[in-house]
Amino acid sequence: MKKTGIFYGPAGGRTESVAKRLGELLGPENHDLISLDRAGADDLDKYDNIIFGIATIGKETWDAEPVESAWFDFMPRLEKAKLEGKKIAIYGLGDHLRWPLHFVDAMGQLYRLLQEKGIDTVGKVSPDDYTFEESEALVDGMFVGLPIDEDFQSELTSQRIKAWVKQICSEFN
């Protein structure tokens, strides 16, 4: 399998710690960790396999009011990037208890942008083991990536990311 670029934002919180845990499972030689606030214009070009990590933080997602958000700044680069032939997987941090109507919405917003560029994601996940009411990340009955709730289901994170890494490794280039 080719090297995977793990692009994540925001930095310094759970999105970053999950990025590191995914990297450990992939193996040190098989991945690079790239915080979005340090991502250069060409960084996406270097990888055929990409993982995007994103947190849903209400208005701080890029499509709403432009407040502090690494993703908001990164979006113009993603819109211009050439992504043909790349395999892309998404994981999303969220909180199913306090935001049950918007659980990991940002993952769905990112997915729609990728779709506009002709890219479908790998690593889709069944919602059966999750409790929530609505989510923009649910498409055709599946989550478009891996939801992680470190606020209220952190005890499930290890098993979720282990199963997901196994899944995406079989789908990556």
Ligand X SMILES: Cc1cc2nc3c(=O)[nH]c(=O)nc-3n(C[C@H](O)[C@H](O)[C@H](O)COP(=O)(O)O)c2cc1C
User: Which residues of the shown chain bind ligand X in the complex (CB under 6 A)?
Assistant: 10, 13-15, 55-58, 93-95, 99, 102-105, 150-151
% helix / strand / coil in the chain, to the nearest 5? 40, 20, 40
**Least Å from the CB of residue 48 to ligand X:** 26
User: What is the rounded CA–CA span in Å between residue 146 and residue 131?
Assistant: 14
Q: Which DSSP string do the residues of 140-153 spell out, in sequence order?
A: TTEESSEEE-TTT-
**Least Å from the CB of residue 134 to ligand X:** 10
Q: Is 99 helix (H, G, I), strand (E, B) or coil?
A: coil
**Least Å from the CB of residue 2 to ligand X:** 27
**Least Å from the CB of residue 150 to ligand X:** 5
Closest by Cα among 138, 164, 146 to 52: 146
Choice between 13 and 127, CB closer to ligand X = 13
Residues 91, 83 contacting (CB under 8 angstroms): no
Choice between 43 and 150, CB closer to ligand X = 150
Choice between 105 and 109, CB closer to ligand X = 105
Choice between 102 and 160, CB closer to ligand X = 102
User: What is the rounded CA–CA span in Å between residue 170 and residue 166?
Assistant: 7
